[in-house]
Amino acid sequence: MSGFPGFPSGFVFGAATASYQIEGAAREDGRGPSIWDTYSHTPGLVVNGDTGDVACDHYHRYPEDVALLRELGVDSYRFSIAWPRIVPEGDGRVNPKGLDFYSRLVDELLEAGIEPAATLYHWDLPQALETPSNSGSAAGGGWRVRETAERFAEYTAVVAEHLGDRVPRWITLNEPWCSAFLGYSIGRHAPGAKEGTPALAAVHHLLVGHGLAVQALRSAGVREVGITLNLDRNLPATDSAADLAAVVRADTQHNLVWTEPILAGRYAATEEETFGELITAADFRRDGDLELISQPLDFLGINYYRPIVVADAPLRETDPGKRVATDNRYQEVPMPDVRKTAMGWAVAPDTFTDLLVALKQQYGDALPPIHITENGSAEHDTVSEDGAVHDTDRVDYLRDHLTALRAAIDAGVDVQGYYVWSLLDNFEWAFGYDKRFGIVRVDYDTQVRTPKDSYHWYRSLIAARHG
């Protein structure tokens, strides 16, 4: 570790994962199907036809994974809870074996001296809430309907009652932008819908679900409550008026539809110019919703990977007669002259500092302390003859982003934690197992875990901080 700048005392270093991406055991111990089981089992939707059926088999191997975390020396581990393990039919009937699994995981973490940070929704909605089963009483409709937000609050209350005394840090939703727009507008995530107004209804119901979950977590008396957003740094491709206007639309969809209601208790002023009649004709908002959505938070989680270069684009039609609400009159263009990760994502750490500083300028004292709940990179890893993975690009990526984070702290942004994405190589959604984000390699044939150079580097960084 070469001369890495120090972080404030009490700063939390962690690593993150998510249930569907690592657990496997998709049909074990009473787990119900989720929309990601359905999506990944639909031919043609995920690269190589990969599914999360087995993934990293973390459901059975969690003690080994906690041992890797302990050896890494992290202060905290961010994992997510699979709603369909807890409420398999989405209808309120609780599966005790699902609760048991997370209870064992949490105990294992605490015994290792690692603080658990639990995400309640990392995209694996019980399938019965999307399409009702014959036996269940769930209504279906997914996040298009308000009932799903209410079911989410009930599930949250159950989990908080069982784990609230042992899990100090709670995240209601992970990246609701992906749930709403990738899920219901462009169909690149489960449930794979391509719809206009329903995607905006999903935005609102996710926000309402967040608000109701905050209430449930507060009633359970947990220590810290927050939400994780994937806020984007959108840069104009040129300084033409058309591209600048496209940036406003991208900012609205990616950032403001979330931060304005949550942090400022108002809807984004630019929503009409962004969504047009899709939003003006909307009837899913109710009086009192903004108060619910804007309850005070203990922290804001931010996932950050890369900047987006935005250019103007014509309005696209997908299905006949249905306008999409996303990729709506803007398009992403490649950022020139910077390295790209295996995802093709631009590596531009300065934009990380800029995003955080701009957010602080925008919201001032209304901005809660920040935890970076994900940051990391997929690289073209290879196993060397010595069996090691010398992932120099990932080490550079992490070092440069931590340096950029430190610059934001120096500029007055209150950032209290950082979780690397990810502890393990895992099921990268529509990219399947093709993209590797782990600091630990997973051989999917044998389930052997091999810490990469980035793991050793991160370990030294944390150890140096502890003196």
In whole angstroms, the minimum distance from the beta carbon of 426 to ligand FCB comes to: 8
16 token code pair: 């993150």
Residue 101 half-sphere exposure toward CB, CA atoms < 13 A: 24
Task: Assess 130 for contact with ligand FCB (CB under 6 A).
Answer: no
| Comparison of 95 and 341: residue with beta carbon closer to ligand FCB | 341
Q: Does 172 bind ligand FCB (CB under 6 A)?
A: no
d(CA 230, CA 324): 21
Query: Does residue 108 touch ligand FCB according to CB under 6 A?
Result: no
Among 143, 437, 455, 457, binds ligand FCB (CB under 6 A): 437
Identify which of residues 68 and 171 has a Cβ nearer to ligand FCB in the complex: 171
| Residue of 12, 15, 18, 35 interacting with ligand FCB (CB under 6 A) | 18
In sequence order, which residues have a C-beta less than 8 Å from that of residue 426 and are 6 or more positions away? 17, 18, 21, 22, 55, 56, 433, 437, 438, 442
Q: Taking CB under 6 A as the criterion, which residues in 207-266 touch ligand FCB?
A: 230
- Closer residue to ligand FCB in complex, CB, 252/422: 422
Give the interface segment with ligand FCB, choosing from 70-78, 89-97, 173-181, 441-449 (CB under 6 A): 173-181
Comparison of 206 and 279: residue with beta carbon closer to ligand FCB:
206
Q: How many of the chain's residues bind ligand FCB (CB under 6 A)?
A: 12
**Residues that are catalytic:** 175, 374
The minimum distance between CB 268 and ligand FCB, in angstroms, equals 21
- One of 19, 174, 197, 252 touching ligand FCB (CB under 6 A): 174
113: which residues sit within 8 A by CB, 6+ positions away?
A: 70
The single-letter code of the amino acid at 454 is: S
Shortest Å, Cβ 290 to ligand FCB: 26
| CA 31 from centre of chain | 22
Task: List b or e across 135-174, with b for residues whose CB sees 16 or more CB atoms inside 10 angstroms.
Answer: ebebbbbbbbbbbbbebbbbbbbbbbebbbebbebbbbbb
Q: Would you say 36 or 267 has its CB closer to ligand FCB?
A: 36
Whether residue 27 contacts residue 52, with contact meaning beta carbons closer than 8 Å, is answered with no
**278 to 317: interface string for ligand FCB, x by CB under 6 A:** -------------------------x--------------
Supply angle C-alpha 176, 65, 102, rounded to 5.
55
Complex with ligand FCB: residue 298 or 374, whichever CB lies closer: 374
Question: Which residues, 6 or more positions from 266, have their beta carbon under 8 angstroms from its beta carbon?
Answer: 260, 290
40 binds ligand FCB (CB under 6 A): no
* Structural tokens at position 338: 């910077």
Would you call 453 helix, strand, or coil by DSSP?
Answer: helix
Least spacing, CB of residue 407 vs ligand FCB, in Å? 23
Q: What angle do CA 316, 320, 326 make, to 5 degrees?
A: 35
Name the residues that contact ligand FCB, by CB under 6 A: 18, 21, 174-175, 178, 230, 303, 374, 421, 428-429, 437
